[in-house]
Chains A and B, each alone.
Chain A
Amino acid sequence: MIVAKRKPFQEIKELISGYKKILIVGCGTCVAVCLAGGEKEVAILSAQLKIALRLEGKAVEIKEITIQRQCDREFLQELKRQVDVADFDVILSTACGAGVQLLSDVYSEKVVVPGLDTAFIGVAEGPGIWSERCRACNQCVLGLTGGICPVTMCAKGLPNGPCSGARNGKCEVDPEKDCAWVKIYERLERLGRLDQIKEIVPPRRYSVQQNPAIAIHEAYKRRFDKDGKNV
């Protein structure tokens, strides 16, 4: 899942400064799970903004709505059905960066601003805690490294083994975190597969990781050109 956190309140206030009619659009998927931009968080943000702006003597109208997914055009139809976006001066999106951008594309005549900072692709470790697990590098090595990603979990993203700074199995950059390569080594040792990290890993191919990336499913390739445009 995508993990995000709410921007500092002051920054959000500055982003919507000067607008009278504000539409806050929440997202009910990843950012709802990580308690950053779902229905409840939108309600809290809306209330905070209303109070703060009223205390400053600013007359604004704020409406909030949360749709299931902002990163999918199909789901954005729901927004059209529920509100007339034309009635608002600005859209404050509490989706991840992908959702904010799609909303901007669909409502290109409107100002769309982000309410969150998108942090990483990760997993839920427990209530209220998430950790990064994937950098979306487009050349997965987890099959060799015992299911632990050195690109993400090593602070330097080293592909061939640890740096010289791991201390008692902890990362030199953050002693609270495990050294990824110690974890990889120990797991492969347990699995009897240390042979998998004996060979030198060649340099990564950043040519396959050019951004902005696009993915087209095999079955749909005849419909689109390489840039994703309908043919």
Chain B
Amino acid sequence: MGKTFKEALASGKFVITANISSPKGVNVDSLINQVKFLKDLTDGLVVPDNLLATMTMSACAASRLVIENGVDPIMSLNCRDRNRIALASDLLGASLMDIKNILCVSGDHTKFGDHIDAKPVYDIDSVQLLGMARGLEKGRDISHNELNGYPQFCLGAVANPEADPLGPQLNKFDKKVQAGAEFFLTLPVFNIDNLKRFMEHARKSEVKILASIRVLVPEEVHKYADGSYPGLFVPEDVLEEIKDASIDKGIEVAGRLIRDIKDRNICDGINLMASGYEERIPDILKAGGI
């Protein structure tokens, strides 16, 4: 493995990460192929943790596989599926497996997934999870019990620059920074003015911000419009632009956003979300002038 994700963040370069998909089952061929394909294109790969409350392979196991295939993983860890004991336990386990980058999230509600009758846990939230992880680094669990051997993490969180109203989102952003987040992945952005407004606030802290760029798939326009994807707010004009077009149009829109963000130095990098179209990531980067 070359430079770690944390080193890339510290280097000042325009950081590029991408989301990968975990398998629903034990066949990891697709996961390994994604990692190998994206290895030289990215500074880290985001491993989902039962994304959209849809059960897939453990993020911890998948993240280890990412390491074994030469890339530094950013392991998502959600509060929906575990109480504080299980979260801390997974954090220690992740550390043992050399998984250092942890994306602390509350987690999409079970309503959106494939186990709608499962109990959503939310014993603690993402802010408290960040604080708990920082506590582990200092040798104490959340109930102040002493640890035998301390982990070290690079902790991240999410925020949504497209949130409306933005005030409550910024208040929570501040809490996440206070709790120990050192990097943020935004939810997918489409409106550069909204992103700039968010960044004006975010730049008051030292944290690194990667803007998520989602490749929109024309066949899914109705889902973007009806709220099927939590936190994904696609403006009407963009929906109109990609409707009835080919995936190339989605790539063009993504490229345009990347170019805007990079050329105007708005964020510290981007996180690509191209579920099902990972093989087009080189085209997306090219469209974005990278």
A interface residues (Cβ-Cβ under 8 A, vs B): 155-169, 172-173, 175, 179, 181-182, 184-186, 189, 194, 197-198, 200-204, 206
Contacts and interface: CB of A to CB of B under 8 A. Distances in A.
A165 B231 contact: yes
Interface stretch (B6-14, B160-168, B265-273): B160-168
A206 B123 contact: yes
26 contacts: A156-B80, A156-B122, A160-B128, A160-B172, A160-B175, A161-B168, A161-B171, A161-B172, A161-B175, A162-B169, A164-B169, A164-B230, A164-B231, A165-B108, A165-B160, A165-B231, A166-B164, A169-B164, A172-B231, A179-B168, A185-B168, A185-B171, A197-B171, A200-B128, A200-B131, A203-B84
B120 interface: yes
B168 A160 contact: no
Given A155-B111, A159-B128, A164-B230, 19 more contacts: A156-B109, A158-B125, A159-B125, A160-B127, A160-B128, A161-B169, A161-B171, A162-B168, A165-B108, A165-B231, A172-B230, A172-B231, A182-B165, A194-B171, A197-B171, A198-B171, A202-B128, A203-B123, A203-B142
Interface in B163-207: 163-165, 167-169, 171-172, 174-175, 178-179, 187
Contacts of A206: 123
Contacts of B169: 161-162, 164, 166
Contacts of A181: 168, 172
B106 interface: yes
Contacts of A203: 84, 123-124, 128, 132, 142
Contacts, number: 98
B127 A161 contact: yes
B273 to A, nearest CB: 14
B128 A157 contact: no
Contacts of B158: 164
Contact of B106 (A158, A166, A189): A158
